[in-house]
Amino acid sequence: MTKAIIWDFDDTLARRSGRWSDTLVEVMNLEAPGHSWTASAFVPGLTSGFPWHEWERGHPELSDPDRWWESLRPVLRGALELAGVSNQVAERASTRFRAEYLRLDRWSVFPDARPALDRLQQHGWRHAILSNHCPELPQLVRGLGLETYFDVVLTSAAIGFEKPHSEAFACALRELGHPKSVWMVGDSAEADIAGARRAGIPGILVRRPAPGFDYAPDLAVAVEMIERAPNIG
C-alpha cells in the first residue's frame, strides 16, 4: 500500500466535552460539590506548562504514562490555585484529574469521521493518527470504536515529540513505511498543516479556516479534495 492519510485526533476526528478546563470543573464537582467556579476561571492557568506549549523541545523522558501525567500535576494544581482553589483541594483535584479526563462517556466521534475513513479505506488509503495527546490515546481510539481504521496511532506523549516538530511527522512516516502519497488532515493551521508542509507533506485544514491554507469545512469535503488531487500514487 502506497497511499496514507495522517489524521489529527482532537477536534478533527473526535472531541472531549470541555477538554482541559471543563475537566477541572468536573473534578471540582467531585472534590467541592456546590462550588461556583466555571471553566473560564481555570483557562488562564492552562496557557503554559503542557508539552505542546514548548514543542521545540523533545521530551522522551516523559514517555512513561505515569511520568507524563505526573509532570502535568503542577500545571493543573497551579491553574486551580490561580483561580482561588485552596492548596489542599487543588492537590486532591490534580491527582484525580487523569481518571476524569479519560472517562469514555465524555468523548464523542464527529458524525463525518467514520464515513470519511470508510470511503478512503475502500479506495486503498491507509490511516494513521498523529496527535499531541495523552498517553492513553490508543485506548481512547479503541474505546470509541475507531481502532480498526488505523494502522498507526501515535501520541506525542509516547513518541516524545509534539507537532509541529519535524520528528513527529518523521515518526509517522516511518511507522507507515514511507508511503508514496501522504496527506495530513487536522484542525490546527500551525501544528498540523504548517508542520506537515515543512515536512514535505501536503495538508488540508478542517473545522477552523485560516488564511493561506487549503481548507475543508468538514471531512467529506476533505476526502473530495484528496480524491481530486493529481498524482495520488
Same domain as 219, residue 132 = yes
List the pLDDT tens digit at each of the 233 positions of the chain: 589 999 999 999 999 988 899 999 999 999 999 999 999 999 999 999 999 999 999 999 999 999 999 999 999 999 999 999 999 999 999 999 999 999 999 999 999 999 999 999 999 999 999 999 999 999 999 999 999 999 999 999 999 999 999 999 999 999 999 999 999 999 999 999 999 999 999 999 999 999 999 999 999 999 999 999 985 44
Structural domain containing residue 93: 16-105
For residue 194, the domain's CATH number is 3.40.50.1000
Q: How many domains does the chain have?
A: 2
Same domain as 133, residue 36 = no
Asked if 83 and 42 touch (Cβ cutoff 8 Å), the reply is yes
Same domain as 169, residue 63 = no
Same domain as 45, residue 117 = no
Classify burial at 231, counting beta carbons within 10 Å of its beta carbon; exposed 0-12, middle 13-18, buried 19 or more: exposed
Same domain as 134, residue 118 = yes
Same domain as 98, residue 44 = yes
**Listed residues 76, 105, 134: the one ending a domain:** 105
State pTM to two decimals.
0.95
Residue 233 lies in a domain: no
Residue 72 lies in a domain: yes
What are residue 95's phi and psi, to 5 degrees?
Answer: -70, -35
